Structures are given as structure tokens and as C-alpha cells.
Structure 1
Amino acid sequence: MPALDALDGLDRQTPWHLVDRLPLDFATFHPQGLAFAAGLTFLSSVEIQAETRGVGHVFIIDERGALQRDVIVGDGEMYHPGGVDFDGSSVWVSVAQYRPGGQSMIMTIDPASGEVRERFRVADHVSWVVCDRVNGLVHGASWGSRFFYTWTVAGALVAYWPNPSGFIDYQDCRFLGEGLIAASGIAVLSGASGAFELGGLALIDTAQRTIAREFPIGLYSTAGHTVTRNPFSISLDSGCVTMRVAPDDDDEGNGTEILTYCATP
């Protein structure tokens, strides 16, 4: 199913059906990104220890939700991992200082061995990365996805452009091919009744430098978070769009659960 056709068939009225709920029975802290590779789940998360100190984790989880390996990522104040993606060979993850404009490391993890490799560094807070192996490109975004980046896999800057949308802040993304990226995210809005989380999905067209599609998602977790708050993965199967998310921290609601939803465009 072509990515643009699939997401064009979805809107705010589309019913999403919860088809699986996988609880994680270990300390997941504050999850950030989600990817699937070699029959395993990769969940990035930040463990905050102090105002400027923490630990970055990428948890490798089996199909039953059991922790197989805790991969520590980062360097000094660069301890905040962002959204992750699997390019068919490696899992890509950004690890940044926990502030806008901070420094970042772009890293890969070998799914089989868990070996971590630093690819390059960026003088900005990079909130997520995806890799286009066919064209040898890496796409990412700044804090809140206000600006988009494209680099070579060696880290040379290819493109830098402002996000034309202010709808939501994209938190985790999936590369779909042909320059298209599926993104999920959140905007926290303030009103008379307090803060409100608005979640949604978007389709980023890196070739045209546009947001090709964007719409809200009215699904909420046990802890009351929009399901697109942080970790997200999407797959486009025959006649169905499958979305996997993990919106809750380990000390909220039922703890961190990987929720699987399906929708028919």
C-alpha cells in the first residue's frame, strides 16, 4: 500500500481498534522511541537523575515483553535519546543534551549484537532520526521538530528547513521510502479546565519540504496521555494501517504498555 494513499485515507473520524496490549514488567523510566527489528522491540528511554544528569537507555525486548538487554547510550550531558528507526540493517537513535539547542550524537545499534556505534555529532538538539539507506541519507529534526535536517550517513549537512506546520511537535518517526516520513506527536494546550494533550499523525515529504498530510488522533492511554505522546511505529499492510505506541511512563497508570491499533483507510 503506497504510504501517501494509506495516510490520505485516514482522518480524525477514522476508527482505530485496539488489537493488542503488551505490558512491560521492568523499569522503563520515560520512553521516547520505538522500533522493531529482527523479531525484537527497541524502546529508547531517558532516566532523569538530576537537572543536568541522566542515563540514556535503549531497551531490547522480546515478543513477550521481557527485557533481553539494556543498551546504555550517550556521552556526559548528552543522555536524552529521542525517536528511533530501523533501516533494515541498523537501529538509528539520536542522543542529546536535554535542552533546546543542545549538542547531539547520532548513533546506530546492531540488532544482533547490541553493539553501539557513534556516526556523527550535531550542534543542536536532535529529537529523532530516520535513515534512507537507498540514498545514503539521514533525516532528523530539532527540539519540537521546529526545523528539519538531512545529512549524509557520514554527517555532512545536506538540507535544513523550517517546519511549515505548528500543529503538533513530532516526537517519533518512521521512514516509509521515497522521501516520506510518518510522524507522531503531541501539543500540550492550556485552557480554562487545565492542560490538554492534543495528539496526531503527519506525513512529511522531505523532497517537497512540505507536510503532505496531518490530522489529530483522539486516543488516550490508561494514564490519560494521548497515545502519540512519544514512542510510535507504523506499518502499512494490505488493507490495514497498524500503529504501535507506548505513551505511559513506568510510574503512570498500568506502567509502560505497548499498544497496537489497526485502522482501515
Structure 2
Amino acid sequence: MSAMRNTLAIAITIFTTIADSSANAEIIQAGRTISERLKTFDRNTVWKPVEQITLNFPTFHPQGMVKIGDVFYITSVEITKPTIKYDQPRDGYDRDTGEGKGHLFKVDAKGNLLEDLALGEGSIYHPGGIDFDGTSIFVPVAEYRPNSAAIIYKVDPKTMKPQEVFRYKDHLGGVIHDTENKTLNAVSWGSRRFYAFTFDNAGKVTNADVERTKLAKLNPSHYIDYQDCKYLGASEMLCGGLTAYQTKKDGPKFSLGGLEIINLASNQPVYQVPVQLWTEAGLPMTQNPFWIEPADKGLKAYFMPEDDKSTIYIYEAQGK
């Protein structure tokens, strides 16, 4: 019986490994299609609204989103005590930690909450942008202030069980798992710094003890700050975000959203396209999480810009 159980366990492990590899290959294939098609988009591309999903629960401040089948996984920060900025920096920080709770929501295609996983500890309660590698959802949770600290988790989407991967002394967000180069890539507060953390064959991070002044690479792109990122394969990631601009001196501000493809080897943007879509209240669609996938000859995008009472806005677009 023992030999039979061992054989069965080995068979299950092999089957699971093959299934995970197949899922990862599909993700990379989809990513290459997204990269190819998005590079034909420009500021005149027409985004056609196709559907809206109203979320039927308080969403707080959403940050990252992935879609696996018909199920959405969404990170959000629930702020119970806002951060307060200091008159002068204290111990290298511009504000206090505030208080809050980190969430990973599992949501069905009709906007119903299926599960709510709490993530973080103490002052580390701010989840960021997330991605799925075919096996796990990688979730960064950080303090709600720059130059702080973060915990990176990976979560099994089936069981919703989290596992801590590593900790780092900076605010990390927008993580993706580059399975081809065995790195976990992340951006800092405001996406001003890029990070590449290396996995060994056992899945352990080998350079989590390297301080940011030595490990981080500066982001040369400044027209948007990234909110959420997705792996595209072939050393590319796609990030969405926004920045507020003024129309004139002392004039009103408006927020411009956009999408950028970044080369992970050079840490350079290789394609940038504005997304000129706003909610009726004036929020840019790329303000919070997004998800994107191939659709027919074009792309289908899912945007979730609103806090608290959120809607997922679904658009389709084709390039030239």
C-alpha cells in the first residue's frame, strides 16, 4: 500500500507540474499576442465599451487585478486611519504609517464576492498590482508610504492559501513573475524604481538582502506612474497607470491614463499609448487595476477605476 501511495503521489505531482507548465505557456503565448497587437495601437485607437460588471460589495481602494477563467482576483487596501504627512522627514519617511487592512478578493463574473483573503501584518497593509504565472498569484503588500517595507506573497487561486516569498526594505508594487528568466520584477512607490529579484532552482529569492541603492534601476519614463503590471513573455511587462497634469498655471488638474510596455532587460519603455477613457465622474480608466487579454483580432481590456462602489468596465479595441 505504501508503494502504491508513493506511486500515486508521484503521478499527481507530475500531472500537476505538466498542467502548471501548460498554463504558464498559454499565459506567455497570450502575452506575446498582447504585445504584438498593442504595439499597433496609438492615441487615435477607438476603445469600444462592451460590458460593465457592478461589484456587489465594498471594494475600498482597489490596486491589482487578474482574471483566471471567469473569476476575478482583486487586491485592495482598506484604510482605517489615513497616513499623516510630516512637516519635516523623520527617519527617512515623509509620513507616518497610518492604519489599514489588506485584501485579496475573489469575485465571480456577476460581481459577487466569493472569498476575502486578508494579507499583510502591522503597518504593512497596502497590497499593490498583481499578476498570475499559471500557478500562483504574486501579491506585494507594503507600508502606505515611500521608501518603506514590503512582503511578497504567492497565493494559490484555488485554495486562496497565501505563502510568504520574501521581504524587502522598500515599498514594492506592480509585481510580475518572469518565469523564463526566473525573476520576480517589481516597481517602487510611484514606479520610480525597477527591481529584479532572482529565484534559484528551489524557488528561493537570492538577492532580497541587497539594499535598494545597489539593486534598483531608475525608471526613465515619467509621463505616468504605474498602478498594475502584467507579464508578456520575452522579457516584457505591461503596466497601466496615470498622472495628474495641470491645464495651465494655477489651473485645474486632469488625469491622463496610459499603458506602457517595458523591456525587463534594459528597464526601458518600448511602447507607450495613452488611454483616453474616463468614467462619467471623470476618473481615468487606468486609475486602479486593469486586466487585458486577446479578443478576436484585437484586445479586450478590463478597468476598475472607482473606490468603494466599483464597476469593472470592459472595452475592446483593434490597432492598425
Matches of residues 26-175 of structure 1 in structure 2 within 5 Å?
26-51=57-82, 52-153=98-199, 154-157=204-207, 160-175=216-231
Q: Which residue identity is paired with 1:167?
A: Y
What are the superposed Cα offsets for residues 8-57 of structure 1, whole Å, 9 maximum, x if unpaired?
20011100011110000101011111111253210110000013100000
What are the superposed Cα offsets for residues 164-218 of structure 1, whole Å, 9 maximum, x if unpaired?
1111001101101111111100101234442211111100111232100112111
Q: Which residue identity is paired with 1:122?
A: Y
Give the SS at the match of 2:130: strand
CA distance in 1, matches of 2:68, 2:34: 20
CA-based RMSD of the aligned residues comes to: 1.5
Residue in structure 2 matched with residue 202 of structure 1 by the alignment: 260
What are the superposed Cα offsets for residues 65-115 of structure 1, whole Å, 9 maximum, x if unpaired?
110001000011000000011111111110000001010001111111110
Give the SS at the match of 2:254: strand
Give the SS at the match of 1:144: helix
In the TM superposition, residue 157 of structure 1 has moved relative to its aligned partner by 3.4
Give the SS at the match of 1:214: strand
Greater per-residue strand proportion: 1
Give the SS at the match of 1:36: strand
Residue in structure 2 matched with residue 263 of structure 1 by the alignment: 317
Residue in structure 2 matched with residue 219 of structure 1 by the alignment: 277
What are the superposed Cα offsets for residues 109-151 of structure 1, whole Å, 9 maximum, x if unpaired?
1111110111001110012201122332111000111110011
Greater per-residue helix proportion: 2
CA distance in 1, matches of 2:150, 2:290: 21
Residue in structure 1 matched with residue 44 of structure 2 by the alignment: 13
User: How high is the TM-score relative to the length of structure 1?
Assistant: 0.94
CA distance in 1, matches of 2:282, 2:53: 17
CA distance in 2, matches of 1:198, 1:25: 28
- Please tell me whether Structure 1 or Structure 2 has the larger radius of gyration of its CA atoms: 2
Q: Which residue identity is paired with 1:113?
A: T
Residue in structure 1 matched with residue 303 of structure 2 by the alignment: 245
CA distance in 2, matches of 1:113, 1:209: 34
Comparing 132-141 with 98-107, greater Cα deviation is found at 132-141
CA distance in 1, matches of 2:291, 2:283: 17
Q: Residue 54 of structure 2 is aligned with which of 2, 23, 26?
A: 23
Q: Which residue identity is paired with 2:47?
A: W
State the 4+ residue runs in structure 1 displaced beyond 6 angstroms. Answer: none
CA distance in 2, matches of 1:54, 1:107: 18
Aligned length: 261
Comparing 115-124 with 156-165, greater Cα deviation is found at 156-165
| Residues 127, 144 of structure 1: 8 Å contact kept | no
Q: Which residue identity is paired with 2:271?
A: R
In the TM superposition, residue 2 of structure 1 has moved relative to its aligned partner by 3.6
CA distance in 2, matches of 1:40, 1:220: 24
Q: Which residue identity is paired with 2:76?
A: S
| Residues 126, 141 of structure 1: 8 Å contact kept | yes
Q: Which residue identity is paired with 1:257?
A: T
Give the SS at the match of 2:157: coil
Give the SS at the match of 1:124: coil
Identity rate of aligned residues, in percent? 37
